[in-house]
Amino acid sequence: MNKPQEFLNLSQTLFFKEGSVANHTQYRVCEKSPFVKVGNVFRKGRFSNPQQGFTLIELMITLALGLIIIAAAMLLFLTGQKSYSLQQGSADLQDNANFGLNYIVKDIRLSNLNTKSSGINDETVGGGIVLTSTANAKTTTAGSPAVTTLSPNLLVNVKADMTKGTGTDIPLILLSQGNTGLSNVNTELSDQLVIQYRPQYVQDPDDADKLFGGFDCEGNRIEVAKVASGTQDYNIIVQRYFLREDTKIGNEPNASLALACDAGYYSDTGSPTAITGFNDKSQIILKRVDYFHVLLGIQNGTNFRYISIDDYMKLTGTKPRILSVQLGALIRSSQTVGRDSMIKDDQKFQVLDKEVTVKTPAAGSSKYVRQVVSQTVALRNTFGTRGASE
């Protein structure tokens, strides 16, 4: 029976004598044999390629290196999550600034459109910035016998359809005012801005019997019935910008305030007594706003400056003409960025002429990215001398 010399027949039992091995001249011991040849004698020895395990020191070093690698991977993961949250928060702020604020600015530029006078102050009937109504309008007594007249921005006898037509006089809260609304900052309350305008009506492309004037800030179509003969009736659009609580709130440390717009209308003919659709529903424009502030740009002779609504209404005598509006808002991200220590609870923000700090939330609350956005809006329909002396 021929067998390769380099392999030992494992099926054949080898019998050893003391100091010698049977048939040792016929077979060569393989490299992994438990026997080694010393001269002509095979002795029991260790494998030439033994299988060995880790020593204790090697095992400890391996575990330590593994823990370091895992810790580095976790650090990269957490850093990536934090960076992603900050980017999402910043993107949310940019969306508010680029889309929401621009949407408001576009509507505010319509203020005083198609009114009788280009000048705006608290006595301009139908003026684009609504500061007065029958509740707080300036009175003038003249003639013999004496006749007292009101000079409100909203038409005389206009009432707010607050609760389905109860006829309550329009309260001050529905006018442009400062430091009266909700806010999430210390010491300061938010402002609200109310504007009005008469749209530029055209033939309604969907209805030959109506005139179309665009859309209000709530997205409602502005339409009036077309009059075949006689005086055409038009609607004056009233829009109010203010902060209110968002009903779709989550687990947030501060009040979930949003900048919203409420729109309504009344007729510019006859003696209207109600603003239809006003104070009914409002449309959110900016999702999360902690503070909203408004300044009026006024001109007195050759002097021009910005002043708060409160300070403007406190001026005595005939008040200066309003030519522009400045809007400022402290907005925050709608998504939390965790509890990052770099976001300070006592951080100060400059909103136009006001320095504010956010109300301190409960300890351990989630934090948010905040940013101040502002915009100056020139009221183009207030330029010139249309219908009034300078």
Residues 6 or more apart whose CB falls under 8 angstroms from that of 65 comprise none
Residue 225 in domain = yes
Residue 20 in domain = no
Using DSSP, how many helices (H) and how many strands (E) does the chain show? 3, 20
pLDDT in tens, 70-123: 999 998 888 777 777 777 777 777 777 778 888 999 999 999 999 888 889 998
pLDDT in tens, 111-134: 999 988 888 999 888 899 999 887
Q: Which domain holds residue 212?
A: 80-382
Give the pLDDT score at 11.
43
Residue 11 in domain = no
pLDDT at 197 over 70: yes
Residue 198 in domain = yes
Residue 27 CA to residue 189 CA, distance in Å, equals 103
Which residues are registered as beta bridge partners of 180?
Answer: none
SS3 94: helix
Identify which of 315, 314, 279 has the alpha carbon closest to the alpha carbon of residue 170: 279
Residue 70 in domain = no
Number of structural domains, the chain? Answer: 1
pLDDT in tens, 314-355: 998 889 999 999 999 999 887 777 666 677 778 899 999 999
Fill in the amino acid letter for 113.
Answer: L
Residue 3 in domain = no
Residue 179 in domain = yes
Residue 248 in domain = yes
